[in-house]
Amino acid sequence: MQVDKSEILRYLGYRTQTPDEVVEQKIDECIHTLEQQTEPKSIYRAFDLECLEPDKLWIADASIDSRDLSKNLIGCEKVYLMAATLGLGVDRLIARASAVRISDAVIYQAAAAAMIEAYCNEVNEAVRKEAELLGLYCRPRFSPGYGDFSIMHQRDFSRLLDTPRKIGLTVTESMLLVPIKSVTAVIGLSQKLTHCQQKDCEACGKMDCIYRR
């Protein structure tokens, strides 16, 4: 996958600054090591969408109360659910580094965050091409945790996509995804082309996030 190094630097907190040569070399070394440990896997599938009342949705048999997701899916009758992960090797690498050299662990965390986002963009593009063949257009992907879209729905997505069996992705009691560098999302499908290109940070209502662009 193609990863924008500037995104890794952003996750590391370099906004207007540039890392020195030593730090730059260490980042490159960590990226190389991380790439050797990634095993990207994904799954996506189309489901019917019902909007029975304002701010309340049904995706398959999952009931969702979310004003923000409802707004994102206005005019849609179907959605894709998707899940993507970098695999357990990344978790193990970060855990080992956390016990030995925390500075490396911080870089691994940032690089893995940029990698899973880049991988999700690749999966999103495959979804877009498949939808296009059906004469449908995709809305920006929207993940549990964006705005008022509860992370409790991680479990619904995992169940509907059968992620434990298909890609080895599970959900903990506290609704965290395992492997940790994983993402679930919903992508609306509409017969009408809209020019909403809102994605990632722009689609999230969490204005105080330190990683916001």
What pLDDT, on a 0 to 100 scale, did the predictor assign at position 198?
47
pLDDT classification of 195: cutoffs 50, 70, 90: low
Q: What angle do CA 128, 131, 134 make, to 5 degrees?
A: 155
pLDDT at residue 208 above 90? no
Instruction: Give the lowest-confidence range in 86-95, 177-186, 194-203.
Output: 194-203
Give the CA dihedral 176, 9, 103, 42, nearest 10 degrees: 30
How far is residue 141's CA from residue 195's CA, in Å, rounded to a whole number? 14
Instruction: Give the lowest-confidence range in 20-24, 114-118, 160-164.
Output: 20-24
Q: Backbone phi, then psi, for 120, in 5-degree steps?
A: -60, -35
Instruction: Give the lowest-confidence range in 52-56, 65-69, 89-93, 203-207.
Output: 203-207
Q: Which long-range contacts (CB under 8 A, 24 or more apart) does 199-202 make?
A: 199/140, 199/141, 200/117
Question: Is the pTM of the predicted complex or chain greater than 0.75?
Answer: yes
How far is residue 11's CA from residue 2's CA, in Å, rounded to a whole number? 17
Looking at every residue in the chain, the average pLDDT score rounds to: 90
Tokens of 133: 């063949």
The string of pLDDT tens digits covering residues 14-63 is 877 888 899 899 999 999 999 999 999 999 999 999 987 889 999 999 99
> Mean pLDDT throughout 128-147?
94
> Mean pLDDT throughout 148-154?
96
Residues linked to residue 64 through DSSP beta bridges, in sequence order? 57
How far is residue 8's CA from residue 71's CA, in Å, rounded to a whole number? 30
pLDDT at residue 118 above 90? yes
pLDDT at residue 124 above 60? yes
CB burial of residue 67 (10 Å; 0-12, 13-18, 19+): middle
Distances (CA, A) of 177 to 151, 153, 189, 199: 10, 11, 25, 21
3-class SS at 65? strand
